[in-house]
Each structure stands twice: as structure tokens, then as C-alpha cells.
């Protein structure tokens, strides 16, 4: 493409932008509302009866109440209302796809197509409480019980906090170097700036009684039966550590990467200018990971970023808001295209051959028509899978842990929640709800076991 | 085009919108700007006796309450009458009147309750050739501690006496401005009439403490840590003012006495309501202090467009039109039955009607029907109280529908009676008068 003259460098290169560009590109997506903005917005809430927004929130935060507390000048009371249901309310305020959760249900959507900005208000009060280091909970008298939590992601942290509140001791076993799970390694950079994930972990564990042991992987360093033998109960919140492969020719070429690895590296890099990015990037997939990888590729200075998704717009897991955010950042989203093979040149990626798809008789098929998209880098974002070993007889269905309504697995004394369970929704907020509820179930079970059995007539 | 020219006790103005005696009318500069913006008249900021002028506090003099989005709903002030020299005011009044002959200028006056004081000031005002005088018997703060303002307005005998002096010493029309800080507004109005007043104007401000600073425990506005009650005005006082105007308009003793309506008027609609309840024109203060003089343009166009739409040709077609419909509770028709009705297409399902009726009224609105969030009035429980209409955030979503005569009222199981029957005739009333048969 000589006609572009001194255009961007071909291939995968770091330092495509100026320092100022990097800073602007990875700044806070939605800066916190100031007091005036929060008051104006909170005034819009109708304080609904049996509020639909609250029903739509997976953690059932009392939204009308916390908004009214902002409006009456009580942001700390508001933060407590939020944390009562969701101790990771700060992160959820930043990452929840509110447009498909609480804000979609808000009656002001029906009224004037403009919901109350619940997410932004939630961030307003939780930020104030966290900045002031306000802790609202203290531990009950120690029970002498210790519970093992595997995975320090949203599910594990929510479970640990709730268990600590009940007076239990908690040991969190985390495979990675840092706690936080995908909050630390997955969420888009511009949604959780200023090391928020790490600060939140500190805020949650400040209640006491929670010990996080990093570099401890289930299946490598210990097995599930070790844990059941050693601890009074176990909570599994390992998320989905594996990734799906494409199974097509050229997958091993240099320049073909898992989107989650790319994002994890991005999240950990203090200086974004050291991160190499292709001039032309293709992202395969249709979920939040695909969108985040695509947008952040663009923000790192890629000239052309294309998402290829094998189904239609309406099938994409990423919400319309996320899709719009991508296109607003210059990402091209192409639907009904499936990867066929990756084309290489000298061992590195040169492009991708795609096949058009369609639905025939309710099934997705390739139409036979193909095309090539030039690319120096390809990110795979076609789903994560459960990957862990040492789980003994633990029961799975469709590759995920089977649990009942309270989060109990098939093994007595073992609970699970978050992305690793069958009912996981790949949402931070759902992982929090499941961790919290499993903790309540564990506390109840331990309390019942501690009582001498009495006949109830 | 509707004719909105106003003739109030012989004082003519191009429209019925006057600025009330207050900061907006304190000097020539403001009044000239007001006239340029289109105001029909002004009542000049209250003049005091000759001599050293009064002094105001040098700290805050206003406090307020706000509604959603910090919309100012009520204003409170501890300001006194004009703090400028009497002769400066008189000179400016004369000049402005000369420049704006088609606009109304009325001088508001407050001097001690002594015949000599009134006798002295009236010729000075007359000399300015303004159109009339308004007697300020209203200020509830500051001046009242010195035996003026509402201290006079609260004693009907004083009102009558001062009005009589004024009628004796000037040929100018006299408007008596009443304080609402009394138990029954009809008494001061009657007294003013007995004294020979040409008109009354009302309301002045209502004694109030608008808020307390919870850090310093000082009432607001706080002058160095202390506060004093002030006078309350703005949209929040409109209902009180409307009632007082109506009471005077329908009182047989003051029937026909011209009234200048004041209190919370912010839009053309507010003004039209005052006119309908018996006001011959209106005066505005807080709305101008909140939004500036330009609001009069909305008032003028709004009033005249509405009159055109309804076929009212002049203000006389509107003034007093609602007065015959104001009655005592005992004469309300107890056979009139209405039920709330929810327009399901307009309903946004906030549930406020349900919880209001459920917790505090008659448990007459559903919240869930067949497992679906659904708000509907159960006619067999609804007493037609209108609470749900008032709490619903969507206008006209809930309406009160009258049951036609002959229809069954599902709550009482009785058929709606077409005849009129009120409490004075009701069997449960021990004092019931038997219908003459
Ligand atoms: C790129 C990306 C973007 C996303 N964006 C959003 C978003 O904007 N909004 C949203 O709501 N959701 C988003 N999600 C989904 C969300 O991050 C997850 O649903 C959520 O983090 C699940 O929490 P979890 O605790 O179940 O798992 P995780 O967050 O995955 O945490 C699991 C933890 O367990 C540890 N672990 C794994 N295996 C082992 C083992 N064998 N032994 C010990 N520890 C182990 C992991 O290291 C990790 O710390 C996104 C996901 C991705 C991948
Ligand atoms: C700051 C302020 C000063 C006032 N000063 C006077 C006054 O000097 N003389 C007077 O008759 N009324 C005075 N008033 C009362 C107003 O003229 C008017 O009666 C009252 O504010 C109600 O009208 P509104 O609701 O439109 O403001 C004053 C009101 C305010 C807010
Ligand atoms: S649905 Fe909307 S208006 Fe109603 S309580 Fe929730 S945020 Fe407030
Ligand atoms: S009118 Fe009163 S009783 Fe009837 S539904 Fe409404 S609130 Fe309930
Ligand atoms: S208050 Fe109005 S909008 Fe809300 S549920 Fe009731 S009828 Fe519907």
C-alpha cells in the first residue's frame, strides 16, 4: 500500500502513538459524576415501588433507596446500601452492561427513552466511601471455622467477604500473581483505571479474616480432596481459565493470539507504548472479549481493526452499547463471516480467509463463498472454557460445574459460583451474586452443623 | 386577538401584569428595564418616612426551598422597605412616569401609624403624578417590630383608620395590601373596605423559617450565626394566596371590591387562575427575581393565546369566572361519584400509585395481575380520593372518571343518584336540615 506514503508501519509494532495519545486513549471511559451532576441525575429517580431496576440487578441492590440517599446528601449511607448487597459495587458500577440490566428495566426508559443513570450514580457513592476508606462491616465473633476459596475473582472475593462477616476465617487460593480475577486481568483498561481492581481487593479484604495466597493452583499445587480434608468448607470460583481454539490451518502462525492473553498483558503494562500491535488486526468472536480486544487494538494505534462474527448483529453477546462503542472507536464489525484458514508469509500472519455464513433450516452453514482480509495480527475471542484438574468426582455438565440454587456442587462441603458454574452468565455482577449466596449457604450449613441436633416437632 | 388591556380602579396598563413592590421595583434602573421587557405596571418598592432611610442587614437576606433539579419553589426574605432616600425615590418615580405614560406606577407606602405621618407623605407622592398608592400593611419581619407592616395589618381597626386618613388626604386611588399572617383574611379586607379603600392587594409574604443549617444550628439566612423569621413567597405560597383571594371575592361584605392578586405567580396559567378567582390584575415578585424580567413575555403571550383559544375577548370575560364555583364543603354534592382510571398505554409501571393507595389510602390498585407487573384500579375499593392522580409521574395517565347517574358504584353496591344532595341534608348529620316538603 505504497500510496499511503509515510503511513503507519506494517507488521506488529510497539510505540505507534505519542505519549499523550496513549494517555488520552486509556483514560477513564466515564469519569465520575461530580456532586452537581449526581444531584441532578438522582432527582430523576421516581423511587418506584417494587422497583423494576432492582429486580433486574443480579445482586438486587436497593436502587431507589441508594439513589434517594444520594439525593438527600448522604452518599455514605448510599454506599452502604449498595455494599449490603454487592461488596464489589464499585467495580460493577464501572463494568456492568447496565443497558441490558438495571437501566434497561428503569421506568424512565418507558417514559422518555432515557433511564436514570444508575451505574454512574452507583459509582458516585461507592467511590466516595472507598476514597474515605469507610468500612461498613465488622466480623462476627470468630467461629473457629476456616473455609478455602479457590480463585480470587469477583465470585471468590464476594464469597470470602460474606464468610468473613459471619466470623469464619477464609483462605483464598489464587493461581495468578495478583488477586482480582478478570477485574485485574480482563476488564477493558478504560473501565477500571488507576489500579481500581487492586484497590477494590484491598477494600474488600480490609474486613479481616481473609488471607490470599497467590501462586496456588488447584490441580497443580493441591487437589480438591486436599481441600475438603483440610478445611471446613470449600468454594470454587475459578472462572474459565481455558480458551477455545479455532481448529483451522495457520493457527500456530506468529501473530495469532488469544484475545484474553493480549488483554491481560495490556492490563498489566504500566506503559502502553511498549505493547506491540498490528497495523491491520482481525478479531474473531462476538462477545465482550472480542469488543474489548478490538477497541483496545485501535487505541494502541492499529490502523484497521475488523471484528468477524459468524452470526448476525442480534446474536452478538456484546450489548448494542458495546457494539456502538466499538464502531465509535473506528472498529469495523462484519457479520456472517466464519474463519476458514489463516494465511501466512514467512511464518507470520498475512491475512485470513473467511467464508460467508447463513442460517438454513435453523442451522448455521457456510455458503461456500470466501474472501480474504489482510491482517498482521489475529485475536481469537471465541469463548473461554473451564480448565482445571484435581477435581475428583465433581460433576460437570457442558463443561461447567453443576450446582443447585444455593451453589452446592455434587460433592458435600463444596460450593461453586461465577463463570465456572453452569448457570454462570459471564458477568461480574452475577459472579458476585453467586459468591455471596454460596457464602450464605455455607454459613447456614456450618451453623446447622454446629447446633446439636434437636427434634423439631 | 384577545384584548388584555387592564383597567384597575381607574389605573390603566397595557396588560394585567404588574411587578409587586419589592427589589425588582426599587429604583428607576430596574423599573425602566422592566417596562422595556413589557411589564404593564409596577408598585414601587415601599417608601418610608422622610429622614435617614432604614438599613438592611449586610449579610444574606434570602433563603429558599427547592424542588427537583433545584427549581426554586419558595423564597424567604428579611429585607426591609427601601433603604434609599425618600426624595431620590420620588424624583425617579416622577421621571419614569413621565417617560412611560402608558404604564402604571403605584407608590407603596409604609409610615408609622400616626395621622401626621401619612398626611406628610401623601402630597409628596401625589406630586410625582404616579397613578395610585398601595398601603403596605404586610411585611411580617423587621418593620413589624417597629409597629408597622403586618403589625398594622393584623389589627383591622388600624387598617380602617389608616385607609380613612389616606382617602381624606389624597385624591389618588388607594390599594390596601394585606398580610396573610392572620387567621381569617376577610376581616382585614372588610376593615379596608369600611375605611373606603379602592382595592385590596394580597398576599404579602408569610412568616417563615426556611431552613436550619445543620452544621451551625443557625436558621437560614444566617447573619453571623443567628437568623430571624422572614417572609415567604414564590410558587409554594400560591395555593394560600388563591384561597385568600377567593375568600374575599365571595364574601358578601366585600363582594365586588377590586383585588390585585399576588403570591407565587410564575406563569400565565397562575395569573389566569388568580383572575378567575376574582383578581382584577396580578402582581409578581419572586418569578421575576428568579428568572428576570423577560418572563412577562411568556405571561403576555400565554394569557392572550389561551383567551383566543377559548374565545374570551377581554379580561372581563375571565375575571371572577370561577368565583361562583367556590363554595363551602357542606354544599358539595355527595352524590357525585368518581373513580380513578389508569391509561395502560401511558403507564410506565413505576408503581407509585399502588404503594400510595396501598399504604395510605384504600388498597384499590393492583401491583401484579396473573404474575405480571400491572397497575389497575379496583373499582370496588376506590373511593375516588385522587391521591394516585397526584403521585403519578405521568400527566393524564390516571384520570378521575365520574360515574354517570344510574350506573352501579361497585364499592357501595348502590346506583348513582342523579339528584344533588349535600351534608346539610345527610342522614348521618345530626344537624341535618329536613328538606322542605
Ligand atoms: C475480556 C473480558 C472482558 C469482560 N468485560 C466484562 C464487562 O465489561 N462487564 C462484565 O460484567 N463482565 C465482563 N466480563 C466477564 C467477567 O469478567 C466475568 O464474568 C467475571 O470476572 C467472572 O468472575 P469469576 O470470579 O467467576 O471468575 P474470574 O474473574 O475469571 O476469576 C477466577 C479466578 O480464579 C483463578 N483461578 C483459575 N483457575 C485456578 C486454579 N486452578 N487454581 C487457583 N486459582 C484459579 C483465576 O486466576 C482468577 O483469579 C469480561 C470478561 C472478559 C474475558
Ligand atoms: C425580597 C423581598 C422584598 C419585599 N419587599 C416588599 C416591600 O417592600 N413591600 C411590600 O409591600 N412587599 C414586599 N415584598 C412582598 C412582595 O411584594 C409580594 O407580596 C410577595 O413576594 C408575594 O409575591 P410572589 O410570590 O410573586 O413573590 C417583598 C418580597 C420579597 C421577596
Ligand atoms: S426504575 Fe428507574 S426511576 Fe424507578 S427506582 Fe429504578 S432507577 Fe428509579
Ligand atoms: S382514587 Fe384514591 S382510593 Fe381510588 S385508586 Fe386512587 S388512591 Fe386509591
Ligand atoms: S403511578 Fe402512574 S405511571 Fe406509575 S404505575 Fe401508577 S399509573 Fe403507572
- Report d(CA A413, CA A228) in Å as an integer: 7
Q: Write down the residue that cell numbers 427434634 correspond to.
A: A455
- Average pLDDT, whole number, for chain A? 94
Mutate to test the pocket of ligand 5, among B340, B344, B351 (most ligand atoms within 8 A of CB): B351
Q: Write down the residue that cell numbers 427575581 correspond to.
A: B289
Atom of ligand 3 nearest to the CA of A107: 1
The answer for B 20-79 residues in CB contact with A (under 8 A) is 68-70
Q: Which residues 6+ apart lie within 8 Å of B195 measured at CB? A: B159, B160, B161, B162, B163, B164, B167, B176
The stretch A446-450 carries a mean pLDDT of: 92
Residue B150 has a pLDDT of: 85
Residue B437 has a pLDDT of: 44
Express each pLDDT in A402-416 by its tens digit: 999 999 999 999 999
| Backbone CA torsion sign across A35, A37, A43, A48 | negative
Q: Is residue A261's pLDDT more than 70? A: yes
- What Å distances lie between residue B152 and B21, B113, B146, B157, B181, CA to CA? 18, 8, 10, 9, 11
A48 touches chain B (CB under 8 A): yes
- State what percent of residues in chain B have pLDDT above 70: 99
Is ipTM strictly over 0.90? no
Peptide bond just before B221 cis, omega within 30 deg: yes
Residue B436 has a pLDDT of: 47
**Interior angle at CA A171, CA A170 and CA A177, nearest 5:** 135
Residue A5 has a pLDDT of: 46
| DSSP code for B253 | T
B88 closest CA partner among B123, B132, B48, B40: B48
Express each pLDDT in A355-381 by its tens digit: 999 999 999 999 999 999 999 999 999
Residue B402 has a pLDDT of: 97
- Nearest chain A residue (CA) to B359: A49
Distance from the Cα of residue B75 to its chain's centroid: 14
Whether residue B350 lies in the annotated active site: no
Confidence class for position B68, pLDDT limits 50, 70, 90: confident
Q: Which long-range contacts link B113-120 to residues 24+ away (Cβ below 8 Å)?
A: B113/B147, B113/B148, B113/B152, B113/B158, B113/B161, B113/B162, B115/B165, B117/B49, B118/B162, B118/B165, B118/B166, B118/B169, B119/B165, B119/B169, B120/B49, B120/B50
- Report d(CA B88, CA B95) in Å as an integer: 11
Residues A157 and A417 sit within 8 Å (Cβ to Cβ): no
DSSP string, B162-217: HHHHHHHH--S-EEEEPPS-SS-THHHHHHHHHHT-SEEEE--PEEE--EEETTTT
Express each pLDDT in B213-230 by its tens digit: 999 999 999 999 999 999
B373 touches chain A (CB under 8 A): yes
The stretch B191-200 carries a mean pLDDT of: 98
The stretch B175-204 carries a mean pLDDT of: 97
- A48 with B351: Cβ contact below 8 A: yes
Minimum mean pLDDT among A154-158, A205-209, B144-148, B336-340: which range? Answer: B144-148
Residues A399 and A424 sit within 8 Å (Cβ to Cβ): no
- State what percent of residues in chain A have pLDDT above 90: 91
Q: How many CB atoms within 10 Å of residue A36?
A: 9
Q: Is residue B126's pLDDT more than 80? A: yes
Residues A211 and A172 sit within 8 Å (Cβ to Cβ): yes
Residue A122 main-chain phi, psi, to 5 deg: -60, -40
- Report d(CA B12, CA B281) in Å as an integer: 11
Query: What pTM did the predictor assign?
Result: 0.89
The torsion defined by the Cα of B230, B235, B236 and B238, in degrees rounded to 10, comes to 100
C-alpha cell recorded at residue B222 = 444566617
Ramachandran region of residue A41, left (φ > 0), alpha (ψ -120 to 50) or beta?
A: alpha
- What Å distances lie between residue A284 and A375, A386, A392, B64, CA to CA? 12, 20, 34, 59
- B352 with A48: Cβ contact below 8 A: yes
Q: Write down the residue that cell numbers 394516585 correspond to.
A: B388
User: Helix, strand, coil shares of chain B as percentages rounded to 5?
Assistant: 35, 20, 45
Q: Write down the residue that cell numbers 399502588 correspond to.
A: B354
The stretch B55-84 carries a mean pLDDT of: 93
Helix axes B295-310, B268-276, angle to 10 degrees: 60
Q: Which residues pair with B232 in a beta bridge?
A: B76, B206
Express each pLDDT in A306-336 by its tens digit: 999 999 999 999 989 999 999 999 999 999 9
Amino acid at each position: 500500500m505504497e500510496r499511503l506514503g509515510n503511513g503507519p508501519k506494517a507488521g506488529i509494532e510497539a510505540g505507534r502513538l505519542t505519549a499523550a495519545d496513549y494517555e488520552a486513549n486509556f483514560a477513564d471511559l466515564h469519569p465520575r459524576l461530580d456532586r452537581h451532576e449526581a444531584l441532578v441525575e438522582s432527582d430523576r429517580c421516581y423511587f418506584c415501588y417494587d422497583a423494576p431496576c432492582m429486580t433486574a440487578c443480579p445482586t438486587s441492590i436497593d436502587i431507589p433507596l441508594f439513589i434517594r440517599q444520594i439525593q438527600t446528601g448522604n452518599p455514605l449511607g448510599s454506599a452502604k446500601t449498595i455494599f449490603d448487597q454487592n461488596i464489589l459495587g464499585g467495580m460493577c458500577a464501572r463494568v456492568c452492561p447496565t443497558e441490558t440490566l438495571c437501566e434497561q428495566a428503569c421506568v424512565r426508559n418507558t417514559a422518555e427513552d432515557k433511564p436514570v443513570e444508575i451505574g454512574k450514580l452507583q459509582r458516585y457513592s461507592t467511590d466516595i466511601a472507598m476514597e474515605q476508606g469507610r468500612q461498613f462491616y465488622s466480623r462476627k465473633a470468630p467461629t473457629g471455622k476456616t473455609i478455602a476459596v479457590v480463585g480470587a475473582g469477583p465470585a471468590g472475593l464476594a464469597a470470602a467477604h460474606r464468610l468473613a462477616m459471619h466470623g469464619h476465617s477464609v483462605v483464598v487460593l489464587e493461581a495468578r500473581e495478583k488477586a482480582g480475577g478478570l477485574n485485574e486481568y480482563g476488564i477493558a483498561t478504560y473501565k477500571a483505571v488507576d489500579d481500581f481492581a487492586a484497590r477494590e481487593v484491598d477494600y474488600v479484604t480490609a474486613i479481616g479474616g481473609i488471607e490470599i495466597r497467590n501462586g496456588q493452583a488447584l490441580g497443580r499445587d493441591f487437589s480438591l480432596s486436599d481441600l475438603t480434608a483440610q478445611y471446613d468448607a470449600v468454594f470454587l470460583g475459578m472462572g474459565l481459565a481455558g480458551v477455545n481454539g479455532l481448529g483451522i490451518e495457520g493457527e500456530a502462525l506468529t501473530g495469532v493470539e488469544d484475545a484474553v492473553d493480549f488483554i491481560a498483558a495490556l492490563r498489566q503494562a504500566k506503559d502502553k507504548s511498549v505493547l506491540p500491535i498490528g497495523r491491520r488486526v482481525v478479531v474473531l468472536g462476538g462477545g465482550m472479549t472480542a469488543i474489548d480486544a478490538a477497541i483496545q487494538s485501535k487505541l494502541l494505534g492499529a490502523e484497521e481493526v475488523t471484528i468477524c462474527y459468524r452470526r448476525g448483529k442480534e446474536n452478538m453477546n456484546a450489548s448494542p452499547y458495546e457494539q456502538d462503542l466499538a464502531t465509535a472507536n473506528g472498529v469495523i464489525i462484519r457479520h456472517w463471516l466464519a474463519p476458514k484458514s489463516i494465511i501466512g508469509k514467512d511464518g507470520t500472519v498475512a491475512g485470513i480467509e473467511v467464508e460467508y455464513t447463513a442460517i438454513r433450516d435453523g442451522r448455521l452453514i457456510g455458503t461456500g463463498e470466501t474472501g480474504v482480509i489482510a491482517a498482521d495480527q489475529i485475536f481469537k475471542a471465541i469463548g473461554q472454557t473451564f480448565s482445571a484438574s484435581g477435581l475428583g468426582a465433581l460433576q460437570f455438565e457442558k463443561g461447567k460445574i453443576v450446582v443447585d440454587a444455593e451453589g452446592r456442587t455434587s460433592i458435600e462441603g463444596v460450593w461453586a459460583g461465577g463463570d465456572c458454574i453452569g448457570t454462570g452468565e459471564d458477568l461480574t455482577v452475577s459472579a458476585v451474586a453467586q459468591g455471596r449466596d454460596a457464602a450464605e449457604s455455607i454459613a447456614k450449613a456450618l451453623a446447622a452443623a454446629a447446633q446439636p441436633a434437636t427434634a423439631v416437632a | 386577538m384577545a384584548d388584555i388591556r387592564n383597567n384597575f380602579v381607574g389605573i390603566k396598563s397595557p396588560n394585567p401584569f404588574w411587578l409587586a413592590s419589592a427589589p425588582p421595583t426599587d429604583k428607576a434602573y430596574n423599573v425602566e428595564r422592566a417596562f422595556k421587557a413589557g411589564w404593564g405596571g409596577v408598585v414601587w418598592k415601599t417608601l418610608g418616612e422622610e429622614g435617614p432611610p432604614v438599613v438592611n442587614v449586610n449579610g444574606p437576606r434570602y433563603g429558599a426551598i427547592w424542588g427537583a433539579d433545584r427549581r426554586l419553589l419558595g423564597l424567604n426574605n428579611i429585607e426591609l422597605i427601601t433603604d434609599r432616600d425618600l426624595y431620590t425615590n420620588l424624583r425617579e418615580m416622577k421621571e419614569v412616569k413621565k417617560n412611560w405614560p402608558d404604564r402604571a406606577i403605584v407608590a407603596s407606602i409604609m409610615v408609622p401609624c400616626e395621622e401626621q405621618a401619612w398626611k406628610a407623605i401623601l402630597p409628596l407622592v401625589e406630586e410625582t403624578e404616579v397613578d395610585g398608592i398601595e398601603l403596605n400593611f404586610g411585611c411580617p419581619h423587621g418593620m413589624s417590630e417597629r409597629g408597622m407592616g403586618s403589625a398594622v395589618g393584623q389589627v383591622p381597626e388600624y387598617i380602617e383608620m389608616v385607609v380613612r386618613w389616606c382617602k381624606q388626604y389624597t385624591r389618588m386611588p388607594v390599594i390596601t395590601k394585606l398580610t396573610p399572617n392572620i387567621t381569617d383574611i376577610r376581616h382585614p379586607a372588610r376593615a379596608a373596605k369600611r375605611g373606603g379603600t379602592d382595592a385590596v392587594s394580597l398576599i404579602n409574604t408569610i412568616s417563615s423559617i426556611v431552613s436550619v443549617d445543620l452544621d451551625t444550628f443557625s436558621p437560614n439566612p444566617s447573619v453571623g450565626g443567628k437568623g430571624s423569621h422572614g417572609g415567604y413567597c414564590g410558587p409554594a405560597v400560591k395555593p394560600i394566596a388563591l384561597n385568600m383571594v377567593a375568600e374575599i371575592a365571595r364574601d358578601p361584605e366585600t363582594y365586588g371590591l377590586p383585588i390585585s392578586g399576588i403570591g407565587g405567580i410564575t406563569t400565565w396559567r397562575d395569573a389566569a387562575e388568580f383572575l378567575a378567582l376574582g383578581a382584577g390584575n396580578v402582581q409578581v415578585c419572586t418569578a421575576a427575581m428568579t428568572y428576570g424580567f423577560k418572563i412577562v413575555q411568556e405571561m403576555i403571550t400565554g394569557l392572550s393565546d389561551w383567551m383566543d383559544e377559548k374565545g374570551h375577548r377581554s379580561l372581563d370575560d375571565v375575571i371572577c369566572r370561577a368565583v361562583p364555583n367556590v363554595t363551602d364543603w357542606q354544599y358539595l354534592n355527595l352524590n357525585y361519584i368518581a373513580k380513578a382510571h389508569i391509561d395502560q398505554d401511558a403507564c410506565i409501571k413505576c408503581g407509585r400509585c399502588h404503594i400510595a393507595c396501598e399504604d395510605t389510602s384504600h388498597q384499590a390498585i393492583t401491583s401484579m395481575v396473573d404474575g405480571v407487573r400491572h397497575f389497575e384500579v379496583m373499582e370496588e375499593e376506590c373511593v375516588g380520593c385522587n391521591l394516585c392522580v397526584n403521585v403519578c409521574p405521568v400527566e393524564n395517565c390516571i384520570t378521575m372518571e365520574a360515574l354517570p347517574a344510574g350506573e352501579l358504584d361497585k364499592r357501595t353496591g348502590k346506583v348513582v343518584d342523579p339528584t344533588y344532595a349535600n351534608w346539610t341534608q345527610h342522614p348521618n348529620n345530626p344537624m341535618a336540615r329536613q328538606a322542605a316538603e
